[in-house]
Structure 1
C-alpha cells in the first residue's frame, strides 16, 4: 500500500491561491502548481481535484481573505466616509509596494476566458456584489449618523460609483498605471461622495 504524503491543507490552499493570483488561471500550469506546492499531479488531484477545482478554491480563499482585509470595516455598524477614504488610499499604497501591485484575483479573473464558467462567474458576481454592498453600508451608516445628506437613490448611485472605482484601482494598479493617475481617481471618487 502506497504511503500517503502528509501536507498542511491550509498551507496548500494558500500556496495555490498565490500562484493563481500571480499568474491568472490561463497562465498557470499544473507544473507551476506542482513546483509551488511540492506535490505531484496525482497528489493534487486526489487531495484537491483538477485545475478548475483548485482555481475555484483559490477564488473562495481570496474572497475570504480580501473580505476580511479590505471590506470588513466598510461592512461594520460603525462604517463611514473615513473608512471609504482609508480603503481607497490603501489601494494607492499597495500600487507602490516594492514587489509590485498584485491587484485583485477576482477582478483579474473577471477578464479571463474562465469567467464564462458558471461556477467562476457566480463567485465573481458574489464578490463584486459584496464590494458594492460594503460601500452602500458605509454610506448608509454615514447618512444615518447625519454625516452625509443623501437620498436613498444617491446612496445607491454613489455605492455603484465607488464599486467601479474600487475595481478600476485593482485592475489599473496591477497594470502598473502611474500612481498619480490612480490618486486622481481616488480624489475624484471621494469628492463625488458628498
Structure 2
C-alpha cells in the first residue's frame, strides 16, 4: 500500500517557484529545491517528476498567476489609460526582495532564449493572450477618445508588452519603485490622444 503524501503539493510548488524565480533553472540544484520545499528527494520525484518537469510546472503556475494579475489591473478601471498605468505600475512592487526578482518569465526567456520549444510555446501562449486583452483595451480607449486614434492597436499592444519587459528587467537590475513607476507613466503617456 502506497503511503499518503505528507505535504501540501501547492505549497511545495510555490516554494519551488520562488527558488527557480530567484536562481533560474541552471542555478537551482535539487538540494536547493528539497530544502525550500521541505520534502525529501524521492517525494519531489514522485510528486513532480524530475527537476525539468518541476521547473515547467512552476513557470506555468507563475505565468498564469502573473497574467491574471496583469489583466485584473488592466480591466479594473473604466479608463483604458488608467488600466495601462495600473498594469505597468503594478510591476513596481514595494517589497524590495520581491521587486528584485523581476519576472520569472523574462528570466526564463533570458536563460533559455528560443532553445527550449516547450518554454517558447508557453511564452507565446501567455503573450498572445495578454496581447489580445491589450488590443481590446486600446480599441476601447480609442473609441473613448483617450488614446491616439492613429495608433495601430496591435503595434501599441506590442509596445506595452515591450515596456513591461523593460520595467521587469530594470526591477531585476535594482531599479527603485519610484523610477519604475516613472517609466510606467512615461510609457503610457505615449499612447494619449
Q: TM-score, normalised by structure 1?
A: 0.85
- Aligned partner of 2:18 in structure 1 is 18
The answer to whether the 8 A contact 2:63-2:126 is kept is yes
- Aligned partner of 1:123 in structure 2 is 122
- Aligned partner of 2:43 in structure 1 is 43
Moved more, 77-86 or 55-64: 77-86
Give the match's secondary structure for 1:110.
helix
Q: Would you identify which runs of 4 or more consecutive aligned residues in structure 1 move more than 4 Å? A: 75-79, 178-181
Alignment of 1:84-95 (within 5 A): 84-92=84-92, 94=93
The gaps in structure 2 that reach 5 residues or longer are: none
The gaps in structure 1 that reach 5 residues or longer are: none
Count how many residue pairs are aligned between Structure 1 and Structure 2.
191
Alignment of 1:1-194 (within 5 A): 3-74=3-74, 80-92=80-92, 94=93, 96-101=94-99, 102-113=101-112, 116-151=115-150, 154-177=152-175, 181-194=179-192
Let me know the Cα RMSD of the aligned residues.
2.4
Question: In structure 2, do the counterparts of structure 1 residues 100 and 64 end up closer, same or farther at CA, with 3 Å as the change threshold?
Answer: closer
The answer to whether the 8 A contact 2:75-2:83 is kept is no
Q: TM-score, normalised by structure 2?
A: 0.86
